Amino acid sequence: MRIDGALHSLDQPPRLDPKKAHNIDVVIDRLKASPEQRGRVAESLELALKLGSGLVRLLWQDATEKTVAEWPMSNQNFDPATGYHFPILGARHFSFNSPLGACSLCGGTGTQLLPDAELAIPDPTRSLEDQPVGPWRRAPKRMAGHYKSLLRDLAKHAGVPMNRAWKDLPGSFHHLVLHGSADQSVTFSQIKAERLSENKKNF
Ligand SMILES: [Zn+2]
């Protein structure tokens, strides 16, 4: 048997600490791999899979009997190395018409909707003061003021001047506006003020 990675004879089992969890494997066979051993390998694997309910570990040892590699394998729909389970495969897993088989990026349509920076910033010579973000500039007046304030807070956060043309601003700022700040938090003055007035209204 193999306990916590070490091989032991069944005649002389080691004392185990009952308070600890142990990994106990049954050793089914040990052989020198060669084409002549094919049948024996198949038989041993079959027995191991049966005993291990579909889970078997293959150990490679060098001449000194040191384990140099360990392959966990399974004949179930399960990857023992990662724990990844998958269902019994059928036609629908290979069909783009089925949510199960469809490409996860496009949902099987073959096209993907992505933001286009050139459409978002139609005129990159506009400065931040002139609102270079097209959809924000075309927004109704109240919202346009709100977006302007967002842009001002972003500029303040990044330390870039409002009177500089979009095209002359660093790529990191472009990324901040177009894709967000990821895990970095940005303080927005107006959202705070609006939330406060909303709260007042509710009270
Ligand atoms: Zn696709």
Range of the domain at 188: 117-202
* Co-location of 183 and 124 in the same domain: yes
* 104 CA from centroid of ligand 1 (Å): 6
Phi and psi, residue 2, nearest 5°: -130, 115
Tell which of 42, 70, 85 closes a domain.
85
Claim to verify: residue 79 and residue 133 sit in the same structural domain: no
Domain identity same for 80 and 124: no
The answer to whether residues 77 and 125 belong to one domain is: no
Continuous H helices in 68-128: 117-120
Q: Please give the model's pTM, rounded to 2 decimal places.
A: 0.47
Partners of residue 7 on adjacent β-strands: 2
**pLDDT tens per residue, range 180-194:** 998 889 888 876 555
Tally of domains within the chain: 2
Please identify, among 42, 68, 85, the residue that sits at the C-terminal boundary of a domain: 85
The answer to whether residues 26 and 1 touch, using CB atoms and an 8 Å cutoff, is yes
- Ligand 1 centre distance from Cα of residue 88 (Å): 23
Domain stops at, among 85, 100, 133: 85
Residue 6 lies in a domain: yes
CATH number at residue 153: 1.10.8.280
Cα–ligand 1 centroid distance for 134 (angstroms): 29
Assess whether 134 and 194 both reside in one domain: yes
List, for residues 130-185, the tens digit of each pLDDT value: 999 999 999 998 889 889 999 999 999 999 999 999 999 999 999 999 999 988 89
Q: Ligand 1 centroid vs 102 CA: distance in angstroms?
A: 7
Q: Are residues 12 and 52 in the same domain?
A: yes
Q: Specify the pLDDT at position 59.
A: 92
- pLDDT-derived band at 203, boundaries 50, 70, 90: very low
Helix (H, G, I), strand (E, B), or coil: what is residue 38?
helix
Per DSSP, 47 falls in state H
